Structure 1
Amino acid sequence: MQEVYVSTDIEADGPIPGSYSMLSFGSAAYLADKTLVGTFSANLETLPDAQEHPKTMDWWKSQPKAWAACRTNLQKPEKAMPEYVAWLKSLPGKPVFVAYPASYDFMFVYWYLVQFTGECPFSHAALDIKTYTMAVTKQPFRQINKKTIPQQWFDPIPHTHIALDDAIGQGAMFCNMLQENMNS
């Protein structure tokens, strides 16, 4: 079965799930040849007993357009997460979670999937774009950032801090990286 690379970006009001809420998430499903086979996004109601982290909320004040975008058309996680699982299962292959950084985004998505659906179609693994960059470019991990990633991997897609926009952009970048690596 082919792999489908599910580039995912989340927006949250704090550093960890449970204590803080995932406000929004977006996923863009790509085949290895950069064919976009589908997208999914949802803005979520906050968890009933969660807090807002002061430093995160200070950052949100600098992003009013993204904040407004993630606070419209709110859904209960109990509704959105089962719909997300159904979407993942409908993809034309085995879903692979891809993110930059995967450790942050996957932590929230995994927690929400297990909490609200009891399962995670990604299993217990995520593909981190920064780690993949390290392997392909042979650069030290701590030296990799968006300024040191080869510019030919970026498509002209703006990074808006709106989850679906960012998932589409990083997914296209990952596919560009994958193609260059597979063809070298």
Structure 2
Amino acid sequence: MAYIMVDIEADGPIPGDYSMIALGAVLVEDNLHQQFYSLLKPISDQYIPQALTVSDFSREDTLNFNNPEHVMKDFTAWIAKVSPDRPIFISDNHGFDWMFVCWYFTSQEVIRLG
């Protein structure tokens, strides 16, 4: 079992209507060397400018970020690499962060949870 700390940034309060624009994760271990980070292109035309100020990105910046489907496939591969058995995800705001990650896994049809 591996603990993975996840943090995301988004351009609004809920997935689908708004987009996850940054995804970071680290395997919780002594040296914290196993890390994942990527920026994601928006999946929605909606965004809240004030939400972007948290990450210091403009809307124009985000439009040049990575394809979300590719990012989620890369994240899936990273999880499999650092956690050959059951990963346990933790976060400072688990409801918010994991809501986006779970939605992206499901909506991008990368993996099926369960």
Pairwise same-fold verdict (TM > 0.5): yes
- Following TM superposition, by how much is the alpha carbon of 1:73 offset from its aligned partner in structure 2, in angstroms? 6.3
Amino acid corresponding to residue 106 of structure 2 in structure 1: V
Q: TM-score, normalised by structure 2?
A: 0.82
Superposed, 1:53-72 pairs within 5 Å as 53=48, 57-61=49-53, 63=54, 66-67=56-57, 71=62
Q: Distance in 1 between matches of 2:47 and 2:37?
A: 22
Equivalenced residues, count: 110
Counterparts of 2:64 and 2:24, CA distance in 1: 14
Tell me the TM-score normalized by structure 1. Answer: 0.53
Give the deviation of 1:24 after TM superposition: 0.7
In the alignment, the residues of structure 2 paired with residue 96 and residue 67 of structure 1 have an alpha-carbon distance, to the nearest angstrom, of 30
SS of corresponding position for 2:9: strand
Pairwise CA RMSD: 2.3
Cα contact 1:30–1:37 (8 A) shared by 2: no
| 1:39 correspondence with 2:35 | yes
Q: Which residue pairs with 2:70 in the alignment?
A: 79
Matched, 1:118 2:114: no
Q: How many percent of aligned residue pairs carry the same amino acid?
A: 30
Task: Structure 1: state its 5+ residue gaps.
Answer: 124-184
- Structure 2 unaligned blocks of 5 or more: none
Q: Which structure would you say has the larger Rg?
A: 1
In structure 2, the CA distance between the partners of 1:73 and 1:52, relative to structure 1 (3 Å rule), is: closer
Q: Normalized per residue, which structure has more helix?
A: 1
* Structure 2 residue 19 is the aligned partner of structure 1 residue 21: yes
- CA distance in 2 between counterparts of 1:71 and 1:27 reads 19
